[in-house]
Amino acid sequence: MKKHLLSTSAIALGVAMAAPASAAEWDLAWGGFANVHVGATNIDADSGTDFAGGDYDGVDVYTNAEIIFSPSVTLDNGMTFGYSVQFEAMNGFSIDESYMTISSDTLGRVILGSENSAGYLLMGSVYTPHPTSMPINSRSTSAFIPVTGSTGFRQAALSSLTEVGGNNDVQRITYFTPSFNGLTLGVSYAASGDNNAENNFGVNHDGSGLRDIFDIGAKYRQSFNGVDIGLAARWGTADRNGSSSSKSLCAFYPTGSSSSSGFIQAMTVDASDIGTTCELGDYEAEELVEGSLGSSDGDPTTWAVGGTIGVSGFTFGATYAENNADNDYDIGDQKGYSVGASYDLVGPWTIGATIYMGEQETGPYFEDREYNAYQLGASRSLGSGVSWDIYYVRQETQNNEGGEIEGNLFGTAVNLSF
Query: Whole-angstrom Cα distance, residue 329 to residue 326?
Result: 9
Task: Look at the chain and report how many structural domains it folds into.
Answer: 2
Spatial neighbors of 172 by CB under 8 A, at least 6 apart, are 111, 112, 113, 114, 115, 117, 188, 189, 190, 213
Say if residue 96 is in the same domain as residue 141: yes
Say if residue 109 is in the same domain as residue 251: no
- 273: containing domain: 247-291
Q: For the domain that residue 396 is a member of, what is the CATH number? A: 2.40.160.10
Query: Whole-angstrom Cα distance, residue 167 to residue 301?
Result: 11
Say if residue 80 is in the same domain as residue 166: yes
Q: Give per-residue pLDDT as tens, 362-388.
A: 776 667 899 999 999 999 999 999 999
Say if residue 114 is in the same domain as residue 219: yes
Query: Whole-angstrom Cα distance, residue 379 to residue 413?
Result: 9
Say if residue 84 is in the same domain as residue 224: yes
Q: Give per-residue pLDDT as tens, 23-56.
A: 689 999 999 999 999 999 999 998 888 888 899 9
Domain boundary among 291, 322, 351: 291
Domain boundary among 265, 291, 317: 291
Window from 155-164, 198-207, 285-294, 370-379 with minimum mean pLDDT = 285-294
Say if residue 353 is in the same domain as residue 337: yes
Query: Whole-angstrom Cα distance, residue 350 to residue 357?
Result: 24
Say if residue 64 is in the same domain as residue 205: yes
Say if residue 359 is in the same domain as residue 257: no
Query: Whole-angstrom Cα distance, residue 321 to residue 225?
Result: 30
Say if residue 204's pLDDT is above 70.
yes
pLDDT recorded at residue 285: 47
What residues are paired with 58 via a beta bridge? Answer: 41
Say if residue 70 is in the same domain as residue 107: yes
Say if residue 286 is in the same domain as residue 365: no
Query: Whole-angstrom Cα distance, residue 156 to residue 138?
Result: 9
Say if residue 214 is in the same domain as residue 258: no
Question: Average pLDDT in the 295-324 region?
Answer: 91
The sign of the dihedral angle between the CA atoms of 75, 78, 79, 84 is positive
250 pLDDT tier (thresholds 50, 70, 90): low
Nearest Cα to Cα of residue 165 among 198, 204, 194, 188: 194
Query: Whole-angstrom Cα distance, residue 94 to residue 107?
Result: 32
The pTM score is 0.84
Domain boundary among 291, 318, 353: 291
Nearest Cα to Cα of residue 306 among 293, 296, 315, 295: 315
Q: Give per-residue pLDDT as tens, 73-91.
A: 999 999 999 999 999 988 7
Give me the torsion for CA of 226, 309, 135, 321, rounded to 10°: -150
Say if residue 177 is in the same domain as residue 270: no
